Structure 1
Amino acid sequence: MYEYRARVQRVIDGDTFDFDVDVGFYISLRMRVRLRGVNTPELRGDERERGLAAKEFVVEQLPVGSYALIRTAKIGKYGRYIADVRYLPGTPDASVEALQADGVDLAQALLKRKLAAPIDY
Structure 2
Amino acid sequence: MLAASAAPAAEPLPGPIRAEVLRIIDGDTFQARLRVWLDTEVTVLVRVRRLDTDELHGPCRPRALSARDALTRLLPGWVTLTDIAHDKYGGRVDATVTLPDGTDLAAAMAGWGKACR
TM-score, scaled relative to structure 1? 0.75
Aligned partner letter, 1:26? D
Give matches, 1:64-83, under 5 Å.
66-76=77-87, 77-83=89-95
Q: Percent identity?
A: 34
Larger radius of gyration: 2
The TM-score with structure 2 as length reference comes to 0.77
Give the Cα–Cα distance (whole angstroms) in 2 for the partners of residues 2 and 79 of structure 1: 19
Distance in 1, matches of 2:42 and 2:91, equals 14
Give the alignment's Cα RMSD to 1 decimal: 1.5
Q: Tell me which residue corresponds to 1:109.
A: 108
Q: Distance in 1 between matches of 2:58 and 2:78?
A: 31
Question: Which ranges in structure 2 are unaligned for 5 or more consecutive residues?
Answer: 1-13
User: Which runs of structure 2 are paired with 1:32-51 in the superposition (5 Å)?
Assistant: 32-51=45-64
1:72–1:81 Cα contact (<8 Å) kept: no
* Alpha-carbon distance in structure 1 between the residues aligned to 2:17 and 2:67: 24
Q: Does structure 1 residue 61 correspond to structure 2 residue 74?
A: yes
- Structure whose residues are more often strand by fraction: 1
Partner of 1:46, secondary structure, is coil
Partner of 1:15: 28
Count of residues in correspondence between the two structures: 100
Can you list the C-alpha shifts for 1:17-47, whole angstroms capped at 9, x where unaligned?
Answer: 1100021313211011111112001112321
Instruction: State how far apart, in whole Å, the 2-side matches of 1:5 and 1:103 are.
Output: 13
Structure number with higher helix proportion: 1
Measure the CA separation in 2 of the matches of 1:73 and 1:21: 12
Show structure 1 runs of 5+ residues with no match. Answer: 89-101
